[in-house]
């Protein structure tokens, strides 16, 4: 239990030192919905407003890449990769965007993720 408290304290100090604000639920939902919809214009606007949003996670630990993979939005996956985002992040269950693409039968996303 002491370890978890230490990790939490470390994360809080890191956030304070680097002046990172914790994303609001609205900000999390906004970028994840843009990834799901495949609306690249909105996704780009959100990214350029706050580049760290590529690493935002929902309550299941899923990132915008997971959401884009689930909905077969290869344009979003390409953008994430071009901007240095990680397309191999694991969610809370250990699933990567590729696993999610397979689960949802998002065949274009599966092909793209296998080729990168």
Per the listing, tokens 């407003």 go with 49
For 68-80, what is each residue's pLDDT tens digit? 999 999 999 999 9
Query: What pLDDT is attached to residue 116?
Result: 84
Looking at residue 10, its pLDDT comes to 60
Give the pair of three-digit tokens for residue 86: 């990680």
Other Cβ atoms within 10 Å of 82 Cβ, number: 8
The domains found in the chain, sorted by start residue, are 20-115 (1.25.40.20)
φ, ψ (nearest 5 deg) of residue 84:
85, 10
Q: What is the pLDDT of residue 1?
A: 47
Residues lower than pLDDT 70 in the chain: 1-21
Name the DSSP letter for residue 52.
G
pLDDT at position 24, please? 85
């Amino acid at each position: 239990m002491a370890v978890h408290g230490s990790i939490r304290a470390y994360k809080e100090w890191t956030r304070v030192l680097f002046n990172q604000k914790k994303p609001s639920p609205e900000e999390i939902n906004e970028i994840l919905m843009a990834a799901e919809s495949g609306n690249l214009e909105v996704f780009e606007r959100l990214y350029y407003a706050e580049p760290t949003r590529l690493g935002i996670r929902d309550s299941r630990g899923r990132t915008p890449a997971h959401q884009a993979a689930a909905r077969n939005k290869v344009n979003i996956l390409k953008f994430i990769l071009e901007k240095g985002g990680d397309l191999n992040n694991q969610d809370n269950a250990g699933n990567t965007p590729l696993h999610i693409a397979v689960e949802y039968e998002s065949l274009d996303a599966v092909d793209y993720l296998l080729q990168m």
